[in-house]
């Protein structure tokens, strides 16, 4: 039997960041991960670029991640434009609306994963067990117990589920989730283009497809294309030359002739909101708690915010000599994280529904909403403030 204070299932960015947030607290922490150690120490490019708010950047600096990322791999997000259909008109959200030099930052997911791993690997308070499979979980009033497939048993005061939006830990704890499958697939890759993006992000709700452009340093962008699975299958199988022509055409050549400079990756478009964020001596963090639609680019930002909330509660309990996994403590975390995430989660669903529909009434509503929003300065400032999240 291995005894620790906190056991974390999942060594993705959320699990690693949560462990790092408590590395100096005097607690002993174990992270359990089914992947091999090499997948954590040298994570491969997976196509995903993460948009970070100013608050998230602050949290990453406090965790010691920011300085571990090459500055050239951090791209500023100056402005944002939202397009509808084939029109050149766009809702424009500028960094000046947020009274900042930029709305936020863009960093590749594998860089964040690498930085998080490097930040925790040398901590004497944190042990990472890789290549392990969880066979059983149970909690009671006194402890949480995890049994691994190899027979090893781990006992902790608090168990954390950080194993993605498809969390097996959440399910093992008997917690249901509101899962919505949009029936679409997202393709992500990096492309070069001759027309400068001016560090402006695009969200383009075209008819029959949704396109996104996340500006990287230089004349490169992370491209996100959302299509029905059969159409996506064809795009994924194209030769590189055909793919370049197809993507340039989908962007209506607004960026010139685009050229693929990375591997292509496809993911199902599925969102998740857990019915409960806690259980007896148990809490969910990251995508296991709230798996956002990418349209608002707040998935990892919410993950970091939830980690900060739970960490603050645990540190306060340590300072006062209280139980780090009391029902009252966990309930406060759940209530605050719900307040922070639930309104936007469902607002995002409403936006995705309206702008994902190509019916004539939806088309009129889509176009009208963008034009109206562009004329209302307080609205634009509110959106910019939300995107930048300066505090």
Name the residue with higher pLDDT: 347 or 149.
149
Q: What is the mean pLDDT of residues 174-187?
A: 93
Predicted local distance difference test score (pLDDT) of residue 293: 77
Residue 352's CB: how many other CB atoms inside 10 A?
Answer: 22
Tell which wins on pLDDT, 54 or 366. 54
Express each pLDDT in 67-117 by its tens digit: 999 999 999 999 988 887 777 766 777 666 556 677 899 999 999 999 999
Separation between Cα atoms, residue 144 and residue 8, nearest integer Å: 11
Cβ atoms 329, 323 nearer than 8 A: yes
Residue 379 pLDDT > 60, yes or no? Answer: no
pLDDT at 380 over 50: no
Mean pLDDT of 326-331: 98
Cβ–Cβ under 8 Å, residues 288 and 14:
yes
* Confidence check: pLDDT of 371 > 90: no
Residue 372: CB atoms within 10 Å:
11
Per-residue pLDDT of 15-52, as tens digits, reads 999 999 999 999 999 999 999 999 999 999 999 999 99
CB 83 within 8 Å of CB 366 = no
- Helix, strand, coil % over all residues of the chain, rounded to 5: 40, 30, 30
- Supply the pLDDT for residue 92: 75
Q: What's residue 142's pLDDT?
A: 96
What single-letter DSSP state applies at residue 358?
Answer: -
Calpha distance 149→20 (Å, rounded): 26
pLDDT of amino acid 299: 82
Please give the mean pLDDT across all residues of the chain.
89
Pairing of strands 79-84, 134-139: unpaired
Read off the pLDDT of residues 219-256 as tens digits, 9 standing for 90 and up.
999 999 999 999 999 999 999 999 999 999 999 999 99
Q: What is the mean pLDDT of residues 192-196?
A: 97
Query: What gap in Å lies between CA 336 and CA 275, rounded to an integer?
Result: 15
At residue 103, the pLDDT reads 87
Which domains can be identified in the chain, with CATH numbers? 2-60+109-175+273-356 (3.50.50.60)
pLDDT computed for residue 384 by the predictor? 44
Which residues does residue 76 pair with via DSSP β-bridges, in sequence order?
Answer: 105
At residue 140, does pLDDT exceed 90? yes
The confidence band for 177, taking pLDDT boundaries of 50, 70 and 90, is: very high
Give the ranges where the chain is alpha helix by DSSP (H): 13-21, 37-41, 54-62, 109-121, 168-172, 229-237, 240-250, 299-319, 327-355, 360-375, 377-388
Nearest to 106 by CA among 247, 297, 285: 297
**Residues with Cβ < 8 Å from 281, sequence gap 6 or more?**
139, 140, 141, 143, 144, 156, 157, 158, 159, 325
Taking alpha carbons only, the member of 170, 113, 177 closest to residue 285 is 170
Query: Residue 347 to residues 200, 342, 343, 352, 353: CA-CA distances in angstroms?
Result: 23, 9, 6, 9, 10
Q: How far apart are CA 325 and CA 329, in angstroms?
A: 7
pLDDT over threshold 70, residue 376: no
What is the Cα–Cα distance from 70 to 64, expressed in whole angstroms?
A: 13
pLDDT tops 80 at residue 268? yes
pLDDT of residue 208: 84
Q: DSSP class of residue 44?
A: P
User: Mean pLDDT across the stretch 122-129?
Assistant: 96
Cα–Cα distance, 371 to 357 (Å, whole number): 18
What percent of the chain clears pLDDT 70, i.e. is strictly above it?
A: 85
């Amino acid at each position: 039997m291995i005894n620790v204070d906190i056991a974390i299932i999942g060594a993705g960015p959320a699990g690693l960041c949560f462990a790092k947030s408590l590395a100096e607290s005097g607690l002993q922490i174990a992270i359990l991960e089914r992947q091999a150690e090499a997948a954590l120490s040298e994570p491969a490019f997976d196509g995903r670029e993460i948009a970070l708010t100013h608050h998230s950047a602050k949290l990453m600096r406090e965790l010691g991640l920011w300085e571990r990322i090459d500055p050239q791999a951090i791209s500023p997000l100056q402005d944002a434009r939202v397009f509808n259909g084939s029109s050149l008109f766009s809702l424009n959200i500028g960094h000046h609306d947020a009274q900042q030099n930029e709305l936020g930052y863009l960093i590749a997911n594998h860089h964040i994963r690498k930085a998080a791993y490097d930040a925790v690997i040398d901590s004497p308070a944190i042990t990472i067990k890789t290549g392990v499979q969880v066979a059983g979980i149970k909690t009671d009033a006194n402890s949480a117990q995890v049994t691994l497939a190899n027979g090893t048993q781990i006992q902790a005061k608090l168990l954390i589920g950080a194993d993605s939006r498809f969390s097996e830990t959440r399910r093992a704890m008997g917690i249901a989730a509101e899962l919505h499958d949009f029936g679409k697939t997202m393709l992500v890759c990096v492309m070069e283009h001759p027309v400068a993006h001016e560090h402006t992000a695009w969200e383009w709700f075209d008819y029959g497809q949704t396109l996104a452009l996340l500006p990287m340093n230089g004349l490169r962008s992370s491209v996100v294309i959302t299509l029905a699975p059969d159409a996506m299958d064809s795009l994924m199988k194209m030769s590189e030359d055909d793919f370049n022509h197809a993507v340039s055409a989908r962007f209506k050549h607004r960026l010139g002739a685009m050229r693929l400079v990375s591997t292509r990756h496809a993911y199902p478009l599925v969102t998740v909101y857990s019915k409960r964020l806690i259980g007896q001596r148990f809490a969910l963090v990251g995508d296991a708690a709230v798996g956002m639609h990418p349209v608002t680019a707040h998935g990892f930002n919410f993950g970091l915010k939830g980690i900060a909330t739970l960490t603050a509660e645990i540190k306060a309990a340590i300072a006062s000599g209280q139980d780090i996994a009391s029902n009252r403590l966990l309930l406060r975390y759940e209530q605050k994280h719900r307040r922070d995430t639930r309104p936007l989660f469902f607002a995002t669903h409403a936006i995705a529904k309206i702008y994902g529909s190509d019916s004539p009434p939806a088309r009129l509503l889509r176009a009208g909403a963008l034009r109206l929003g562009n004329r209302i300065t307080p609205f634009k400032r509110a959106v910019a403030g939300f995107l930048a999240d300066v505090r």
